[in-house]
Amino acid sequence: MAHIAEGFSGIITTAGPAVIGRPTWVDEFVRRSDWSARGLEGELRAFVRAGELTPVVRGVLRWRNATTSAIARGEHPDDDRFRALTRAAGLVAPVGNVISHESAAMLHGARTLSRWPDRPILTVPQGCSAHSSGRTARHSHALAEIDRVDGLPVTTPARTLADVARTAPRRTAFELLCSGLFSPRDGSPLTTPAEVGAELDLLGAARGVRAARALLRLATDGCESPAEARSLLLILDLGFSPPRQQVVFRDREGPMVVDFFWPEAHLVGECDGVAKYLTRDAGDGRSAARAVVDEKLREDRLRALGLGVVRWTPTTLRDTGAFAHLLERAGAPR
């Protein structure tokens, strides 16, 4: 069935009115209207019953092997789900609709620890209906310009981060801001704080602009991952002193860069990603076991310099009270 489905996807799937250049990802999807126009409703239902096609948004289905291939490549299931929702919505969006907010942030490559929304998000031209449904969230605002990512119309990086900062949950917004401004996947910032600020100026008195400006002032290039961004936001919200970030310490063996440092308490804070300890390869050629040993030796070197060390993981950050208690016990200053 999978082999047959693969053949059908190349024949029946079309690019859709919103897609320029027909990128290869389009073959992951089927538009129901294309099959109906060819009298293939029965075949479509058979693929759905067999589990080869899964509905994504109204009028668009996705081949099962596209999901399994993405996960096999190491894509997080939540990232794959939201990217599929966003692309599918773009395939059937009316002309003039633009992918925006968290959907655009995902396509631009910004990252977050938070779960992505359950619906794709679009911005429609001013004057058009911005009615949201259970399947798609819609906003109505004027857009001075748009970009294209994956062949789909999306808000510019600056406008995307401005929209996210004023409408997304606070932690999600801060993580996406720091990711887009300072640590996207390809290493190049998506935009600058000044450009995001200019977009907020254009939005004027729109909902959430004041809160967005406050988050933008907190965003820092010291946050090299979404976990570090969430850590910093929690540290500040909990009333602890602002730490220095990405501080370099040296001993006879060489330099060591730490995530957070409170000089008044001689305390180092390290936010560890757990993936490197749970996989066979730590991601830099080291085995997981070697990564654990190296981190222990590195901590010993820091302590030998007279520093205290407190460590946590992204899982720790889910419990604000536990995180506060951890920092208090370690002596983090308030």
Tens digits of per-residue pLDDT, 223-238? 999 999 999 999 999 9
DSSP secondary structure, 23-71, as one string? -GGGGGEEEHHHHHHTT-HHHHHHHHHTTSEEEEETTEEEEHHHHHHHH
Encode the chain (334 residues) as per-residue pLDDT tens digits.
333 344 444 445 554 556 788 899 999 999 999 999 999 999 999 999 999 999 999 999 999 999 899 888 888 999 999 999 999 999 999 888 999 999 999 999 999 999 999 999 999 887 666 667 767 878 877 888 999 999 999 999 999 999 999 999 999 999 999 999 997 666 789 999 999 999 999 998 889 999 999 999 999 989 999 999 999 999 999 999 999 999 999 999 999 999 999 999 999 999 986 544 344 444 555 455 566 667 788 899 999 999 999 999 999 999 999 999 999 999 999 9
Paired strand residues for 140: 124
d(CA 197, CA 211): 12
Polymer length in residues for the chain: 334
Following CA atoms 234, 236, 237, 239 in sequence, which dihedral angle do they give, to the nearest 10 degrees? 120
pTM of the model: 0.86
Tens digits of per-residue pLDDT, 174-183? 999 999 999 7
End-to-end Cα, the chain, rounded Å: 61
Host H or E run for residue 270: strand 267-271
Backbone φ, ψ for residue 306 (5° rounding): 85, 20
The answer to whether the Cα torsion of 289, 295, 298, 303 is positive or negative is: negative
Query: In 50-169, where does DSSP find H-type helix?
Result: 64-72, 77-92, 101-108, 157-167
Cβ(333)–Cβ(240) under 8 Å? yes
3-state secondary structure of 143: coil
Beta-strand ranges (E) seen in 129-186 are 137-140, 146-149, 152-155
Q: At what angle do helices 226-237 and 320-330 cross, to 10 degrees?
A: 80
Cβ(14)–Cβ(31) under 8 Å? yes
Q: Residue 293 has what pLDDT?
A: 67
Structure tokens given for 317: 């950050």
Residue with tokens 């300072």: 182
Tens digits of per-residue pLDDT, 263-310? 999 999 999 865 443 444 445 554 555 666 677 888 999 999 999 999
Q: Residue 16 has what pLDDT?
A: 56
Query: Residue 148: how many CB atoms within 10 A of its CB?
Result: 15
- From the list 50, 53, 76, the residue with the least C-alpha distance to 6 is 53
Structure tokens given for 147: 């970009």
Structure tokens given for 36: 């109906």
Q: What is the distance, to the nearest Å, from the Cα of residue 272 to the centroid of all Cα atoms in its chain?
A: 18
Q: Residue 129 has what pLDDT?
A: 63
Structure tokens given for 273: 């990603």
Q: Residue 126 has what pLDDT?
A: 73
